Structure formats: structure tokens, C-alpha cells
Amino acid sequence: NSCVLLGPDGQVVGRQRKVNLGLMERERFGFTPGREYRVFETKLCKVGIGICVDFWGPPHVGRRLLELGAELIFNPSFFFIFREKWRCFVFTRMVELMTPIVAVNTAEFQFRLGDRVFPRCGGLSFVMQPPWRTMDEFAQWWYDPTFNWITSELGLGEGILVDVVDVERAKRFRKEWYYRLLGSNRTVQGGEA
């Protein structure tokens, strides 16, 4: 349960291990948990990685990645249950953190675990970003239930997802969001926006 981040030259930038392992991962697969969260410096931005439930489960993980300087968060996951709910989980973190998130799943396949078969596994990777272009666009999201923060997505099969992520604009939007929400640059959690 690890994620390796590669740079444009194919060299390893860093590796993040999953910290919060489920019972199945520990008992059936023999995985051992990672010990800490890290942020990796790249030529484009600072990247944080929250693997599967590490990111969308306990709320402190996303906050910790922001404290460490993450400007973009990757959430590689393996969803053999909750596939459609995953977007809701990630959206919750998006509203909380106001930071671009790349949510990566496997391609769809039929997963077997012992005698159980999970027929709808994988698929639906996406990029979700706050409405960082303007506060007017954010107001549209606030009042329009059809507004979507998913800026690109894949279907069920294998694919390569390409999107434009402007981390500087996202940071400016986050500061303005917290200023309007709380009257200061402090986040809900008390850290700097």
C-alpha cells in the first residue's frame, strides 16, 4: 500500500506509504503501516499524497498535508466498495481544504476475495478543484446545484487523464474563501490559509 511519485524525467521523487491500514490489509495481505505523511517538492508544485482512506477518512490527514506545504493532493485508491460514494468523500475534503485533488482509482475489474466477488471495482478517476477562477463562480456553485467541481474524469476503463491545475490561483482562492468565511486568513482548523 504505497504510492511512488515520479518526476517528468522518470526518476523517483518520493514514496508515500499508507498510514491507516484496514483489518483486511493487515490480516489478509500482511501490510505494515507507514509512519508519517510527507510532501514532495517537484518542479511544478509541492505534492502531498493521502492513500485511500488516509485522505478521505480521518480529517486531520488533509490538514497535515497542507501544514507541510502541499499545493496539490493525490488520492490513489482501490475502491471495491463505495465506488460512487468516493466522490462525496473527496468533495468533503475539497470544501474543507480548498486545494486541488487528483483522485486515482484502478481501471474497472471484478475483484475476488476468498469466495466473495465484488463485481464493480475500480474506475471513475477524476480531478477536483475549487472554483478558483472568481468568487462569482463560487457564488454560482453556492446557488446552483448543477455546478460541478470535477474538472476532468475518466470512465471505467484504463486511460490517461490530463487537466490544468493552477495551484497559485487555488491558493489565492483559499485565502479569499477563508477571509470571507471567517474574516481572517486563518483556516477553520486555525492554520494559515
- For the chain, 193 residues long, give each residue's pLDDT as a single digit of tens: 899 999 989 999 999 999 998 887 888 888 889 999 999 999 999 999 999 889 988 888 999 999 999 999 999 988 766 667 888 888 889 888 989 999 998 877 777 778 887 777 778 899 998 876 666 777 777 776 666 788 899 988 889 999 999 899 888 888 887 887 777 666 555 556 5
CATH of domain 2-182: 3.60.110.10
**Residue 76 CA from chain centroid, whole number:** 7
Q: Which triple of cell numbers denotes residue 37?
A: 505523511
Domain ranges of the chain: 2-182
Distance separating alpha carbons of residues 153 and 90, to the nearest angstrom: 14
- Report the predicted TM-score, pTM, of the whole model to 2 decimal places: 0.85
Distance separating alpha carbons of residues 103 and 51, to the nearest angstrom: 10
